[in-house]
Structures are given as structure tokens and as C-alpha cells.
Amino acid sequence: MNQVRFLSKERMNDSGFGELLAPYRLADQGRDNGNDMTAVKIHPGEAGNSSYISASLVKKIIEALDLPGNRTFLTDTTVLYGGRRMTAPDYVTLAYDHGFRMPGLPPFIVADGLAGFDEITIDLPSHCETRTARLASALTRTDNAVMVSHFKGHLLAGFGGSIKHLGMGWATKAGKLYQHSSVMPYVKAEKCTMCNVCLQVCGAEAIEPVENAVRINEAVCTGCGECIQRCPAGAIRIRWDQEAHTFMSRMTEYALAATMATKVQVYVNFLINISPDCDCMKNEAPPMVENIGVLASSDPVAIDQASLDLVNAAVPLAGNASAGEDKFLHIRPERDGREQLRIGEKIGLGKRSYKLVEV
Ligand code: SF4
Ligand code: SF4
């Protein structure tokens, strides 16, 4: 049974983080040869969001793990939709605006290239429904990864923790499109100005002019997502219609692919500012429960299960479910996030059983 270590919110200071993460220090495991590249996977928050895990907390993790200064980097991938995380230049500037340039922090480097199309492919085992995952190219040179996740609600996944951070967080634009949608984008004709930019960028030649707009030929489209980003009118849209099981299955299988691409040293889930929505939201709703603390584990399924159990055991804040009730299911009954845990165990990503050890 995998251990999940727990640091209460009252002990979230330097010595507390040191105790929490002591078993996961690379140097103590004899795994750091001085040349290893270590990725610290974070989510610096969308513009307008304030509940993301702060730069100062990420710094405490790095210090407690004693990560080597010269080959460690903070990282994340670009997203499919508009905002300040769609391209690397936008995203780096946003991360800096959110404090991720403070002294003592390694550089923030976007993992999937300038616009989210630099990728590697990982073939999944035959027991997975997904055949090939499309992940950020930075993983080819990443020897170790530290996953720093914010555990909170999520519109499509029910909740988001380490599994979602692995599966969605390492995917390129095409990988995200595959998980989120029926893969093919569509053109909202009334927004199309017929500028023809999309025709020029579509390497598959899947876009063709029709009366007063263009349309995507689904028989030819590869789902790469390039046109979504390049359309100046925002006319090319994603079908956010993936039903719950398929979405969670694809996301969890992508999580498995990410663990096949790099060695994850430790998963860290912060159970603070637990809002109903993820850090991609501009104006998040108030927290559902009081802050709880931080968890660490080598198992992404066990740590998410433990996080869910702690949130559900917590006394809810006004207007939420009762203590002991599944708080995420209460607000989104159609999105049972426990599906991620069941699928994760089934495909060998980790185990739902765990031993909670408070430090
Ligand atoms: S890039 Fe956008 S606005 Fe231009 S033709 Fe394509 S869909 Fe229409
Ligand atoms: S998703 Fe890629 S292949 Fe499909 S229409 Fe857009 S640019 Fe072309």
C-alpha cells in the first residue's frame, strides 16, 4: 500500500515541507548525477485567477527537495483556448506577472514549444483505449519530474489533482483536443471573415471555402488544433462535448503515457483554496472548505484518492454539501471524478488504497 504523507496547514513552513518531502529527495536516492534535467510541473494560473499555487510555495518545494539549481526548470504547456496561455511568449509573461520570476526560482520554460505543437508520441499499452499520446517535446530530455498540483474542482473532470495535471498538463494542443472533444474543430460561420489564414496554416488541407465562410472537412482533419490558435476572428471552435467517461478515460491514459515518458520523483497536492473550478478560470468561486494542508506521494492515484477523502471529510463552507458527502459530486452530479481513480487503478497508473502518514 502506497504511503501518502500529509502536512497540515498549520505546519506549512520550511521545516514542515522538509519533513514532508524527505523521502523524495533525489540526491538521497542516488539518482541525481549532476546532469539530470528536472522539471517542476506547475500551473501559474490564468490571468485573473488568484487561487493557483503561489511562487513562494513552489519555491519551498524546490528547496525542500534540494533540487539542483542549474538543471531544474519550472514548466507547463500551452492551452487550446484564448487568453494568456495560448503561446509561449504570452505564457512566460503571465507566469512572471504571477510571481514566477522571484529570486531563487528556476526559469519558467514552456514545455510544448512556441505555440503548443512541439510534441513527442508515446504508444500506450494494448489495454488502453488510446493508442498514441501526444505529449510535450520537453519530456524527451526530462530525467525527473516533480508534479506540483492544486487539488480543486473541475468542470469536466469533477475534480483535478495529480492525475489531471499529468494527463492534461503534459499534452500538446493536439493531445488536449483529443481528450476534450470529438477531435475535429468546427467553424462558427457567422464569425468567419473569410481571411483565409486557416487555409494557409492547415497542413492537412482540410479547410475549404463555402458560401460566406469556410468549413472543415472532418474526413481529412487530423485534429492538430493549429487553426484554432491562428484564426484571428476566433471563429474556429472546439466541441466541448466529450461525455464524462470518455474524457476521463483519455485524460487518465494520457497520465499513464506521461509517466512512461519521464520518471516522476514525487507528486505534491496542495489542498488549499479549494474552489469548485480550476486555475484556468479567471474569477474563481469562493473555496468549498477551509484549507487542509499538503500531501506528497509517489503514486498519483493514491494521492488524489487521499485528497478527495480529506476534502469530503472536511466541514463544508456555507452553501455546500454536508460533511462526509462528496462535495464535487454535489455541485456536478453528472461528472463523477472518482472515475479517474477507478480507471487509473485499472490501467496500472497507481492504487486507490493508501496509508496516510501525518508528518
Ligand atoms: S482563419 Fe478564421 S476568420 Fe479566417 S477564414 Fe479561417 S475561420 Fe474564417
Ligand atoms: S485541426 Fe489541424 S488538420 Fe484540422 S482543420 Fe485545423 S489545422 Fe487543419
What residue spans of 218-359 are helical by DSSP H? 226-230, 244-261, 300-313, 327-331, 338-346
CA 107–ligand 2 middle distance (angstroms): 32
Same domain, 258 and 308: yes
Q: Which pLDDT score, from 0 to 100, does residue 252 have?
A: 98
Secondary element (H or E) of residue 180: helix 173-180
Same domain, 154 and 218: no
Q: Report the C-alpha gap between 294 and 272 in whole angstroms.
A: 8
Q: Is the CB of 177 under 6 A from ligand 2?
A: no
Number of domains comprising the chain: 2
User: 340 in helix, strand or coil?
Assistant: helix
Q: Report the C-alpha gap between 45 and 22 in whole angstroms.
A: 28
Q: Do residues 160 and 179 make contact, with C-beta atoms less than 8 angstroms apart?
A: no
Same domain, 38 and 89: yes
Same domain, 206 and 270: no
- pLDDT band at residue 11, thresholds of 50, 70 and 90? very high
* Residues within 6 Å of ligand 1 by CB: 187, 192-198, 214, 231, 233, 235-236
Q: Is the CB of 222 under 6 A from ligand 2?
A: yes
Q: Which ligand lies nearest to the CA atom of residue 216 in the structure?
A: 2
From 215, 237, 259, give the residue that closes a domain. 237
Same domain, 70 and 103: yes
- What is the CATH classification number for the domain harbouring 290? 3.40.50
Same domain, 104 and 16: yes
- pLDDT band at residue 320, thresholds of 50, 70 and 90? low
Give the tens place of pLDDT for each residue, 267-293. Answer: 999 999 998 887 777 667 788 899 999
CA 194–ligand 1 middle distance (angstroms): 5
Same domain, 131 and 229: no
From 237, 253, 279, give the residue that closes a domain. 237
Q: What Cα–Cα distance (Å) separates residue 65 from each residue in 92, 136, 145, 296?
A: 24, 24, 12, 12
Secondary element (H or E) of residue 76: strand 72-76
DSSP conformational letter for 286:
P
Q: Report the C-alpha gap between 85 and 264 in whole angstroms.
A: 24
CA 86–ligand 1 middle distance (angstroms): 18
The residue range of the domain holding 300 is: 2-177+243-358
Give the tens place of pLDDT for each residue, 59-87. Answer: 999 999 999 878 999 999 999 877 789 89
Q: Which ligand lies nearest to the CA atom of residue 227 in the structure?
A: 2
Give the tens place of pLDDT for each residue, 161-212. Answer: 999 999 999 999 999 989 987 657 899 999 999 999 999 988 889 999 999 9
Q: Is the CB of 174 under 6 A from ligand 2?
A: no
Q: Whose CA is nearest to atom 6 of ligand 1?
A: 198
CA 87–ligand 2 middle distance (angstroms): 17
From 208, 237, 266, give the residue that closes a domain. 237
Q: Whose CA is nearest to atom 3 of ligand 1?
A: 192
Q: Which ligand lies nearest to the CA atom of residue 202 in the structure?
A: 2
Same domain, 260 and 112: yes
Same domain, 95 and 209: no
Same domain, 157 and 281: yes
Same domain, 188 and 172: no
Ligand 1: atom nearest CA of 234 is 2
- What is the CATH classification number for the domain harbouring 196? 3.30.70.20
Q: Is the CB of 238 under 6 A from ligand 2?
A: no
Same domain, 69 and 198: no
pTM of the model: 0.87
